[in-house]
């Protein structure tokens, strides 16, 4: 696992700010409702944007001779202040065209005032303002580091909005919502930071005031305000306030505070007496206030509320991800550079780490400096004298994901000192290429000048604690260290098991045929088609995995009965109402692509199992086509009635079967080659192809798909694989 500087920064920033960020987000959500609650008031009038001062001011002066000020607020409500005909104080919202009073300003909501104070200063004045400003700045940095993490994760800026691989709920939605709310959160953070800097005078915005040359003030020609050029030009939407002349003396003038400048106007001639632009900093402060509060636009206010809600979700999901990661992480006491014993692990599902950690613990307890890491993290180990490689094998003898870069890294980094090495392969005799990757690693080490083999390669079948114990004893002896890794402690399973009851099972007439077995899950069991069911046939460390089809609410497996096969034999001997202990392994990368409108499902043999469930679970939105391969019609017969029903219900659009031992003797590959135009169209129109079955079928089909893609779409199949349009679960 590559823990980047961005992830550390993202986490460190989140940890240092999450309490204040939570408070600012909650109060931010509440405050977003303030502009919304104001905007529904009925004080906005039609033609507001077109109404000029020339239309409004004469009307108002006539109706309210004692008017002193007109203000236009962010809701575009026009308010006047002054006194009425009886000399009483007047403050009201008016219709700027008729001067009619529309209502009176209500006192400010105490609740919103209280929340605003909390949001701005935590009720601790300047200290609070500083802390809130700092939080906004940290949020800005979190947003930047989060963006970098998404770019890294998606492998490039151009792929920023492509499909996200789903590991778990928290991780998936952290990234999905992160991408969606990135811009609003960035704006909230940037505007909040700016406002704080302005508040503390770090960004200065000097006050401007108009300098009027009183000697130059003229008292003629006398004009009607309706004819003043400036009044005819300026509309209400450009106005913040208009201060009316205090008396009728020519020395008293109109002061227009516009959005971008302040202008004073001779009340008799309409001449402009002074005009001064606001400093850029002041304009930016206004803009940032608009952006931060949503006061000018109801839709933006709603976006701000949703984005603030998302910040709360990010705090939760970010910590959930961190705790999960830390729970799985290797806890190293010594660094790679200072350790004498280096343990390199290649693991897909994590069990090999259990073995590695057991050895690591023992070495540390024996006072040795030891370091565990993934094979991909191979580097120079200056103090190393012993290296242990524990590597699982996947696919057709392939490395696990965390070891794919190992060979290149090994070439790149030469060790400065001789190092004794020992390789332990983890695999299963159930696969043709038993521990193949470990053998490759052993060969690669043997070619290194600095590498001295300390033991022959050892293999561990099916995570056997005994076999591992044998290696541990031999290695400890030649390395001259104490190593007491007990088979019992290694055999203990960490994950909780779940009991399932057999509902029904079909029968076979001979080994080599397949049967269907269905289990009843309890209501709280969370699974879907494509997940895996782990069973423990001998109630020991040996685990067998089967692809799940969710049919109705049951877990349905399709199993080929192998002569003497540990898992298949065990399952076949179960009867209705038998109860077994199992574990459901999430397999998110092979779930049905909910958004795809067209899906081609390809299987051979028992690989049809997850598709039976996916088709059964389907609504009618997606166009599903099934291409499946069997030996003969008899092998297909156990699935026939379910598939016929799916065809009748239109859950399945079409079925294409290849029989390899009957009729035309075809394989699924041949059917796909026949329908290559349709296959290419599906990929081009963002459809998805899913493969489940044997690895040889996978290799054949992928080679064909690659040819089709290159010939018809001008791209390699890897392009569609990396865009989540080709999903595979073969074994
Ligand atoms: C889908 C799948 C493919 C596998 N392929 C092979 C294989 O080709 N050769 C092999 O020896 N073991 C194979 N195995 C067995 C694993 O290597 C073995 O269970 C190992 O202990 C798993 O270690 P991990 O949990 O650390 O990933 C495979 C297991 C699975 C689930």
| pLDDT tens, residue by residue, 209-218 | 778 888 889 9
> For residues 24 and 348, what is the distance between their CA atoms, to the nearest angstrom?
41
Residue 715 pLDDT grade (very low, low, confident, very high; cuts 50, 70, 90): very high
Structure tokens at 425: 């392969």
Which pLDDT does position 3 carry in this prediction?
Answer: 47
**Mean pLDDT on 148-174:** 76
How far, in Å, from the CA of 347 to the mean position of ligand 1? Answer: 9
**Mean pLDDT on 13-20:** 89
Q: How far is CA 257 from CA 187, 290, 327, 339, 375, in A?
A: 27, 17, 60, 71, 68
Pairwise pLDDT comparison (392 vs 428), residue with the higher score: 392
Q: What residue ranges line ligand 1, CB within 6 angstroms?
A: 347-352, 392-395, 397, 400, 426-428, 431, 433-436, 463, 545, 731
Average pLDDT over the chain, rounded to an integer:
90
Which pLDDT does position 328 carry in this prediction?
Answer: 55
> For residues 207 and 221, what is the distance between their CA atoms, to the nearest angstrom?
33
> For residues 133 and 648, what is the distance between their CA atoms, to the nearest angstrom?
63
Contact 608, 616 (CB under 8 A): no
Which pLDDT does position 618 carry in this prediction?
Answer: 82
Which pLDDT does position 168 carry in this prediction?
Answer: 64
Helix runs in 601-650, H state only = 609-617, 633-648
Q: Same CATH fold, 592-731 and 493-590?
A: no
**Mean pLDDT on 554-566:** 93
Q: pLDDT digit string (tens) for 219-251?
A: 989 999 999 999 999 999 999 999 999 988 999
Q: Which residues pair with 689 in a beta bridge?
A: 600, 726
Task: Evaluate if residue 411 carries a pLDDT over 60.
Answer: yes
Number of helices (H) and strands (E) in the chain: give both, helices first: 20, 26
> For residues 526 and 586, what is the distance between their CA atoms, to the nearest angstrom?
9
Task: Evaluate if residue 170 carries a pLDDT over 90.
Answer: no
Which pLDDT does position 555 carry in this prediction?
Answer: 96
**For the structural domain made of 330-486, what CATH number should be given?**
3.40.50.360
Task: Evaluate if residue 166 carries a pLDDT over 70.
Answer: no
Task: Evaluate if residue 150 carries a pLDDT over 90.
Answer: no
Task: Evaluate if residue 13 carries a pLDDT over 50.
Answer: yes
Task: Evaluate if residue 109 carries a pLDDT over 80.
Answer: yes
- Give me the interface pTM, i.e. the ipTM: 0.99
Q: 592-731 domain in CATH 3.10.400.10?
A: no
Which pLDDT does position 662 carry in this prediction?
Answer: 92
Which residue minimizes the CA distance to atom 9 of ligand 1? 434
Residue 429 CA: nearest ligand 1 atom is: 11
Which pLDDT does position 329 carry in this prediction?
Answer: 61
What residues contact 480, with CB distance under 8 A and at least 6 apart?
A: none
**Mean pLDDT on 392-410:** 87
Closest CA to 312 of 8, 13, 29, 9: 29
What residues contact 117, with CB distance under 8 A and at least 6 apart?
A: 123
Which residue minimizes the CA distance to atom 17 of ligand 1? 427
Which residue minimizes the CA distance to atom 3 of ligand 1? 394
Contact 448, 410 (CB under 8 A): yes
Task: Evaluate if residue 159 carries a pLDDT over 90.
Answer: no
pTM: 0.56
Out of 352, 431, 432, give the residue to mutate to test ligand 1, the one with the largest number of ligand atoms within 8 Å of its CB. 431
What residues contact 542, with CB distance under 8 A and at least 6 apart?
A: 462, 463, 464, 536, 566
Contact 560, 568 (CB under 8 A): yes
Which pLDDT does position 556 carry in this prediction?
Answer: 97
Contact 197, 132 (CB under 8 A): no
Out of 346, 374, 375, 392, give the residue to mutate to test ligand 1, the one with the largest number of ligand atoms within 8 Å of its CB. 392
How far, in Å, from the CA of 394 to the mean position of ligand 1? Answer: 5
Out of 45-49, 302-306, 491-495, pick the least confident.
Answer: 491-495
**Mean pLDDT on 385-396:** 90
Out of 343, 345, 347, 348, give the residue to mutate to test ligand 1, the one with the largest number of ligand atoms within 8 Å of its CB. 348
In the chain, the N- to C-terminal Cα span, in Å, equals 25
Matching CATH number, 493-590, of 3.40.50.300, 2.40.30.10, 3.40.190.10, 1.20.1270.360 = 2.40.30.10
- Hey, where are the domains in the chain? 5-39+110-204+290-324, 330-486, 493-590, 592-731
% of the chain residues with pLDDT over 70? 95
Task: Evaluate if residue 485 carries a pLDDT over 90.
Answer: no
Task: Evaluate if residue 574 carries a pLDDT over 50.
Answer: yes
């Amino acid at each position: 696992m590559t823990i980047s500087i961005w992830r550390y920064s993202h986490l460190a920033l989140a940890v240092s700010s999450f309490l204040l960020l939570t408070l600012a987000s909650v109060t931010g959500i509440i405050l977003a409702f303030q502009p919304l609650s104001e905007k529904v008031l009925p004080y906005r009038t039609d033609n507001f944007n077109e109404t000029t001062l020339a239309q409004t001011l004469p009307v108002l002066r006539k109706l309210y001779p004692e008017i002193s000020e007109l203000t236009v607020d962010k809701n575009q409500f026009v308010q006047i202040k002054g006194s009425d005909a009886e000399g009483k104080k007047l403050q009201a919202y008016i219709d700027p065209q008729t001067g009619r009073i529309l209502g009176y300003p209500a006192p400010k909501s105490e609740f919103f005032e209280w929340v605003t104070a909390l949001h701005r200063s935590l009720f601790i004045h300047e200290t609070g303002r500083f802390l809130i400003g700092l939080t906004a700045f940290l949020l800005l940095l979190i947003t930047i580091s989060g963006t970098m993490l998404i770019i890294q994760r998606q492998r490039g800026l151009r792929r920023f909005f492509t499909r996200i691989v789903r590991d778990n709920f928290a991780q998936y939605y952290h990234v999905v919502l992160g991408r969606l709310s990135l811009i609003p959160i960035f704006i909230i953070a940037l505007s909040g930071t700016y406002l704080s800097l302005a508040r503390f005078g770090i960004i200065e915005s000097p006050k401007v005031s108009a300098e009027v040359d009183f000697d130059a003030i003229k008292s003629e020609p006398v004009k009607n305000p309706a004819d003043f050029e400036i009044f005819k030009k300026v509309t209400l939407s450009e106005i913040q306030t208009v201060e009316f002349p205090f008396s009728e003396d020519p020395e008293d003038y109109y002061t227009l505070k516009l959005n971008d400048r302040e202008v004073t106007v001779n009340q008799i001639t309409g001449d402009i007496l002074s005009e001064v632009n606001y400093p850029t900093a002041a304009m930016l402060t206004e803009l940032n206030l608009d952006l931060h509060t949503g006061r000018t636009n109801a839709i933006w206010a709603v976006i701000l509320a949703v984005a603030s809600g998302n910040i709360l979700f990010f705090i939760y999901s970010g910590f959930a991800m961190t705790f999960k990661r830390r729970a799985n992480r290797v806890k190293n006491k010594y660094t790679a550079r200072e350790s004498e014993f280096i343990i390199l692990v290649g693991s897909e599902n994590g069990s090999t780490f259990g073995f590695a950690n057991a050895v690591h613990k023992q070495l540390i307890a024996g006072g040795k400096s030891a370091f565990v890491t993934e094979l991909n993290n191979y580097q120079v180990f200056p103090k190393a004298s012993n290296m242990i490689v524990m590597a699982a094998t996947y696919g057709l003898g392939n490395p696990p994901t965390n070891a794919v870069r190992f060979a290149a890294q090994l070439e790149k980094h030469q060790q400065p000192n001789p190092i004794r090495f020992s390789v332990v392969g983890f695999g299963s005799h159930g696969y043709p290429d038993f521990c193949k990757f470990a053998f490759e690693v052993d060969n690669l080490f043997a070619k290194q000048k600095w590498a001295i083999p300390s033991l022959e390669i050892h293999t561990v079948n099916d995570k056997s604690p005994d076999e591992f114990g044998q290696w541990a004893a031999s290695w400890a002896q030649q390395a001259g260290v104490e190593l007491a890794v007990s088979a019992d402690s290694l055999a203990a399973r960490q994950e909780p098991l779940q009991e399932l009851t057999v509902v029904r099972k079909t029968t076979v007439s001979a080994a080599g045929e397949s049967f269907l077995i269905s289990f009843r899950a309890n209501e709280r069991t969370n699974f879907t088609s494509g997940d895996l069911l782990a069973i423990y046939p001998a109630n020991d460390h040996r685990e067998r995995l089967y692809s799940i089809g969710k049919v109705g609410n049951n877990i349905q497996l399709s199993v080929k009965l192998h002569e003497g096969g540990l898992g298949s034999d065990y399952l076949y001997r179960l009867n209705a109402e038998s109860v077994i202990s199992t574990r459901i392994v999430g397999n998110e990368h092979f779930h049905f692509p909910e958004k795809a409108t067209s899906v081609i499902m390809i299987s051979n043999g028992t690989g049809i199992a997850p598709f039976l469930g996916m088709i059964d679970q389907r609504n009618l939105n997606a166009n599903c086509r099934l291409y499946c391969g069997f030996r003969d019609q008899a092998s297909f017969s156990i699935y026939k009635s379910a598939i016929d029903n799916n065809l009748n219900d239109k859950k399945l659009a079409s079925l294409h079967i290849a029989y390899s031992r009957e009729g035309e003797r075809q394989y699924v590959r041949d059917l796909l080659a026949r329908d290559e135009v349709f296959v290419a169209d599906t990929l081009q129109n963002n459809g998805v192809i899913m493969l489940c079955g044997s690895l040889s079928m996978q290799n054949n089909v992928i080679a064909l798909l690659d040819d089709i893609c290159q010939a018809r779409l001008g791209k390699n199949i890897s392009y569609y694989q990396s865009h989540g349009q080709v999903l595979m679960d073969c074994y």
